[in-house]
Structure formats: C-alpha cells, structure tokens
Structure 1
Amino acid sequence: MAGLMRIGELAAAAGVSNRTIDFYTNRGLIAPAERSPGGYRLYDPATVDLIAAIRQLEASGMALEDIGRELHSAATADLPAAVARLDRDLETLRVLAESADAEAQPMAATLTVRAHNLITAAMDLLIAMPEV
C-alpha cells in the first residue's frame, strides 16, 4: 500500500474531479492498483500521468471508446512492433504531405502534424501505464 493514492489524492494530483476518476475507472481507462482494508480504491501514482495522457488524447479529438480500445490492445500488444508500425504510418503521411498538390498540401501537413501529436500522446500514455 506504500505510495498508493486514494481517489481524492489522485484527483488533486491529476487536476480533475473525483467524478472524473470514477468515470475513467468505470470506463476501464484507469484501474485501482488495489483496495485498502477499509475498501477504498488505491491508485498507483503513475495513474496521474495516464490521466494526463488520456485528457490530451481526448482534447485532440480522440473518442474515449477509441482511447479505451487502444489502452486495452496496447496492454497485450508487442510494443516494439506497434511502435515500428506507427513510425511507418507517420512516414507514409509525411511523404503524402510532401507530394500533395499545392492546394492539398496545407491540409496534408496539418494531418501529419496531428497524427504525430496523437502518436506522441499515445506513447506517453503507454509509458505512463501501470504494470498489469
């Protein structure tokens, strides 16, 4: 139990409400590490970073259902292979952006930057995920 946080402590550290913690927990986006003898949910401090990454992905337009799906698939995926695939996909986007005609190039460049930001946020999320 050493170092684990109660829901109020986690909410304060993450800058969200207790209701947000409940919501994310009920959606399966975060999970308590264990329960106290009194039945309180206790969270790993790394969950603060996970919440920040979830909020960043959500703010960038990613749906919570998609975030949850990615979290669950990432927990069972071969991380080096997933990173390599993301890197290839991002390179493909860059090439497309560079080869787009003058009218489409700004939109392609914007999509490439957004994809890069989402990948970066996803990687931060994976790093912040507590061990299962």
Structure 2
Amino acid sequence: MRIGELAEAAGTTTKTLRFYEEQGLLPPAERTPSGYRDYTPDVVGRVDFIHRGQAAGLTLAQIGQILEIRDRGNAPCGHVRDLLDARLADLEDQITQLVELRDTITALRDRADDLEPETCSADQVCRYL
C-alpha cells in the first residue's frame, strides 16, 4: 500500500509516517519501480501501536525501545509494564504538585476578595502576590 493509503488507513498524515520511518519506528518501506513507498498491511497495526503508546504518555524513544524488543522476537510486556509504572509515578507527582498549586492559588484568591487598592504601597505592584 502506498503512503497515502497507509496514512488514511492509520488515521495520520504522510508527513508523520515519513517522520516515523526516519526515526526508525517504521521499517523502511519497499519501493515500487517508480520509487514510491510500498508498505505491507501489517504496518497499519504498528502505527496504531505508536499512537496508543503516545496516548498513554510514552515518548517516541520509549515506543521505539518497545518496538525494538518486539522486532528482535521478544515479548516487550515486562518492559511496557515498567514504563507504565514509571509513567504512573510521574503522574502522581504531577497531581500532587497541581493540588499544592491549586491550594496556593485558592489562598491567594481568597485574600484578594476584599479589594483595597489604597492599601498597596508604592513599592508593591500588588499586595496579593
């Protein structure tokens, strides 16, 4: 299948497919006698896997590692589990930081409920921050 057909089947763009190929996420496509890329149908599933990995928050480098393990004939499931564990830990840290930030902003906003511009001194931009 040509690159445009693959892009349509995989729900992506030809530019993205070329990028994936340059990054080693897709194997180099065979070429037709006229030089067009000619992908096998199984590449649709590989592109779908790349998209699912990105949706889970994995980087393209991490997705590439997973694909390399699979391409060597090994099951990457343990590696994927470890990556997902690390991703979950990162998300938990981000959530904690966001909750702390929300609490800080809520406290600042609560102090700003009583607008008293005359209480700001000339050396302050705004007393609420």
Compute the TM-score of the two structures, normalised by the length of structure 1. 0.55
Compute the TM-score of the two structures, normalised by the length of structure 2. 0.56
Q: Which has the larger radius of gyration?
A: 2
SS of the residue corresponding to residue 44 of structure 1 reads: coil
Output one character per residue of 1:1-41: Cα deviation in whole Å (capped at 9) or x when no partner.
Answer: xxxx0101100111111111111111111124411001111
Which of 25, 34, 49 is the aligned partner of 2:21? 25
How many residues align? The count is: 84
Q: Which segments of 5 or more consecutive residues in structure 2 lack a partner in the other structure?
A: 86-91, 93-129
Partner of 2:67: 71
Which of 37, 53, 56 is the aligned partner of 1:57? 53
SS of the residue corresponding to residue 74 of structure 1 reads: helix
Partner of 1:37: 33
Q: Could you tell which deviates more after superposition, 31-40 or 63-72?
A: 31-40
Q: 1:84-103 residue pairs with structure 2 within 5 A?
A: 85=78
Give the drift of 1:61.
0.4
After TM superposition, the runs of 4+ consecutive aligned structure 1 residues lying more than 6 A away are none
SS of the residue corresponding to residue 25 of structure 1 reads: helix
RMSD: 2.4
Partner of 1:122: none
